[in-house]
C-alpha cells in the first residue's frame, strides 16, 4: 500500500472527471435517439455512436480517453511496486485487468449490435471480466486490510472498500446470471392483423446490462484506487 501522492490524485481526478463528462454527454446525445428507445434501459451503448448526432467527435475522444485512463492503476502501482510487498503481484494483476476491461468496453461501443455474434461475444467477455476484476478487487482489499492490520496500520477505509467491492461483485454475478439474457433479443408484439408492430421491452436485458456493468466497473476501479492507499 502507498501514501497519497500527486500521481494517485491526478489519475483519480482524471478518471472520475472524464467518466462524469462522458456520462453527461451520453445523456445529451440520448435526446437525439428515437423516442421509443430513448432510455439507457433500452438502448445499447453502440447506438450512441451514430455520426448524425451532434458532438460525435468529442464523444469519441472522451470514450477513448476514458478507456486509456482505465489503465490508471498500472501507472500508480508500477512505480511503487516494492511498497506493496507480497501484495504487489495481485495489485498489478487487478490493475491490468481494469485496463483490459476498458478496451473491451470501447469495443462494445464500436461494434454495432447489427454484428450480433461479435457484439454478444464481446458483451459476454465484458461480463466475465467484470465479475473477475471486481472479485479480485475484493480479495486485494481484504488482504491489504488484514496484512497491515497485523502492524496496527490497517485502515478502516480499506475494510469499507472491501465490503463495497464485494457488493459490486455480487451485483455483477446477478447481472451475468440473469435468465432473461438467454432471450435478450425478444421483442414485444403489439397490434393485430396487418397492424402488428414489434418494439423493445421497457428493459432490454443485454443493453441495460452493458450500461450497468460500465457503471460497476467505474465504481470498482475507484474503490481499487482508494484501497491502494494507507
Question: Does 1 score more than 70 pLDDT?
Answer: no
Q: How far is CA 31 from the centre of its chain?
A: 23
Please write the tens of the pLDDT for every residue from 75-129. Answer: 999 998 888 888 999 999 999 999 999 999 999 999 988 888 999 999 999 999 9
Strand partners, 198: 189
Asked if residue 2 lies in contact with residue 8, where contact means CB atoms within 8 angstroms, the answer is yes
Q: Where are the alpha helices (DSSP H) in 31-155?
A: 56-69, 72-77, 88-110, 116-149
Strand partners, 229: 2
Question: Does 215 score more than 80 pLDDT?
Answer: yes
How far, in Å, CA of 196 to CA of 192, rounded? 5
Percent of all residues in the chain with a pLDDT value above 90, rounded to a whole number: 65
Q: Find the largest Cα–Cα distance for the chain.
A: 75
**Within 10 A of 144 (CB to CB), how many other CB atoms are there?**
25
Q: Read off the C-alpha cell for 56.
A: 460525435
Q: How confident is the model at residue 25 (pLDDT cuts 50, 70, 90)?
A: very high
Amino acid at each position: 500500500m502507498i501514501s497519497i501522492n500527486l500521481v494517485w490524485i491526478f489519475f483519480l481526478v482524471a478518471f472520475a472527471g472524464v467518466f462524469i463528462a462522458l456520462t453527461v454527454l451520453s445523456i445529451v446525445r440520448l435526446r437525439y435517439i428515437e423516442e421509443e428507445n430513448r432510455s439507457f434501459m433500452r438502448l445499447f451503448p453502440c447506438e450512441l455512436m451514430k455520426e448524425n448526432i451532434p458532438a460525435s467527435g468529442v464523444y469519441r475522444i472522451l470514450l477513448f480517453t476514458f478507456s486509456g485512463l482505465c489503465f490508471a492503476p498500472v501507472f500508480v502501482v508500477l512505480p511503487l511496486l516494492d511498497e506493496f510487498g507480497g501484495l504487489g503481484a495481485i495489485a498489478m494483476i487487478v490493475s491490468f485487468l481494469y485496463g483490459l476491461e476498458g478496451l473491451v468496453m470501447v469495443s462494445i461501443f464500436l461494434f454495432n449490435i447489427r454484428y450480433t455474434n461479435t457484439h454478444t461475444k464481446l458483451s459476454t467477455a465484458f461480463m466475465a471480466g467484470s465479475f473477475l476484476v471486481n472479485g479480485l478487487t475484493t480479495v486485494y482489499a481484504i488482504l491489504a486490510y488484514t496484512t497491515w492490520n497485523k502492524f496496527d496500520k490497517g485502515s478502516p477505509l480499506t475494510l469499507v472498500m472491501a465490503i463495497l467491492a464485494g457488493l459490486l461483485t455480487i451485483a455483477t454475478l446477478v447481472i451475468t446470471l440473469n435468465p432473461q439474457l438467454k432471450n435478450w433479443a425478444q421483442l414485444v408484439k403489439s397490434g393485430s392483423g396487418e397492424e402488428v408492430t414489434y418494439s423493445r421491452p421497457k428493459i432490454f436485458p443485454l443493453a441495460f446490462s452493458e450500461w450497468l456493468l460500465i457503471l460497476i466497473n467505474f465504481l470498482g476501479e475507484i474503490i481499487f484506487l482508494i484501497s491502494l492507499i494507507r
